[in-house]
């Protein structure tokens, strides 16, 4: 029988990877539960996962291509946009669910011990399902427009990794802060709507004035989305800005872990 020892002297910044490995069964169980709830207990099931990015794509394509007349060069605007949506969909889904991650699991948190990091990580796994459906839509459009990826496609896993890391990092911040400040979960949807338009989803970063461009890449998803497009469609890539975004993501991830571990021990009392 396994014995769980709770050490009050455990350092706040110690992540506890061994515990995460030990509780990997719980991680997959929570992820599978959320997937079943989302896709098997609805009338349209997985169709929702496809309709959401398609509707977003149609709206952004109409606004930025037909009204704003954004020039995306040789790449059709609709392809340009869905490549950006693929990364943004994962990030926004994870962030939107982070606000209620611990509140919806409060009964389990108060009754049993387990590494609380399992809960936001399970949301990160579920988000990959939505990402897969969006990428399928992207592949279908690439076939339609007869666009093939170049050799840059081999770097796509790196940008996917940073998309996941960004979602987990900001998701951890939101989920941990929401425990103390419940109003934050109502603010997140508004911030995501604003973020969609200040992130280069349907327009190139070249439209941003050069004097503001480095500051623009403080937005962690700016470099990730540009990287997605560069690796899939071969569009222009501003590497200096991308490195800034990656640095911000790493900083957010490290500080999120530190703050999360600082509130984990009292989570059951204040939730």
* Model pLDDT for residues 181-207, shown as the tens digit of each residue: 777 777 888 888 888 888 999 999 888
Whether 222 is covered by a domain: the verdict is yes
Would you state the pLDDT for residue 3? 54
pLDDT reported for residue 217: 93
> Is residue 7 assigned to a domain?
no
- Quote the pLDDT of residue 269: 62
Residue 160 lies in a domain: yes
- pLDDT value, residue 12: 43
User: Mean pLDDT of residues grouped by 10 in the chain (271 residues)?
Assistant: 50 61 84 78 68 86 88 89 90 80 75 81 84 88 89 91 89 82 79 88 88 90 93 90 94 90 70 63
Residue 198 sits in which domain range?
A: 17-270
CB atoms within 10 A of CB 179: 21
Ramachandran assignment for 10, one of left (phi > 0), alpha (psi -120 to 50 degrees), beta (any other): beta
To which residue do tokens 């611990």 refer? 102
Report if residue 35 sits inside a domain. Answer: yes
- For residue 128, the SS3 value is helix
* Residue 234 covered by a domain: yes
Domain presence at residue 9 = no
Backbone dihedral region of 29: left (phi > 0), alpha (psi from -120 to 50 degrees) or beta? alpha
Residue 102 lies in a domain: yes
Q: For residue 1, what pLDDT is reported?
A: 46
Structurally, the chain folds into a number of domains equal to: 1
Q: Is residue 54 part of a domain?
A: yes
pTM for this predicted structure: 0.84
Cβ atoms of residues 28 and 121 within 8 Å: no
């Amino acid at each position: 029988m396994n014995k769980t020892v709770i050490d009050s002297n455990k350092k706040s910044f110690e992540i506890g990877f061994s515990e995460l490995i030990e509780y990997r069964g719980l991680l997959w169980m929570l992820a599978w539960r959320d997937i079943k709830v989302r896709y098997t207990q609805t009338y349209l099931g997985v169709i929702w996962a496809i309709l959401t990015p398609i509707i977003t794509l149609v709206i952004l394509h109409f606004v930025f291509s037909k009204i704003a007349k954004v020039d995306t060069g040789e790449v059709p605007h609709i392809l340009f946009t869905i490549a950006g949506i693929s990364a943004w969909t994962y990030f926004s889904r994870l962030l939107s669910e982070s606000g209620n991650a611990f509140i919806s699991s409060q009964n389990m948190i108060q009754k049993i011990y387990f590494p609380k990091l399992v809960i936001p990580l399970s949301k990160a796994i579920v988000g990959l399902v939505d990402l897969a459906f969006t990428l399928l839509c992207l592949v279908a459009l690439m076939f339609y427009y007869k666009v093939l990826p170049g050799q840059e496609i081999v770097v796509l896993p790196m940008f996917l990794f940073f998309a996941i890391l960004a979602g987990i990092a900001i998701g951890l911040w939101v989920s941990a802060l929401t425990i103390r400040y419940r109003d934050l979960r109502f603010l997140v949807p508004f911030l995501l709507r604003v973020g969609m338009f200040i992130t280069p989803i349907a327009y190139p970063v070249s439209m941003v004035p050069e004097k503001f461009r480095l500051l623009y890449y403080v937005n962690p998803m700016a470099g990730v989305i540009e990287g997605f497009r560069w690796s899939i469609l071969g569009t222009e890539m501003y590497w200096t800005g991308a490195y800034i975004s990656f640095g911000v993501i790493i900083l957010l991830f490290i500080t999120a872990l530190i703050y999360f571990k600082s509130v984990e021990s009292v989570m059951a009392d204040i939730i």
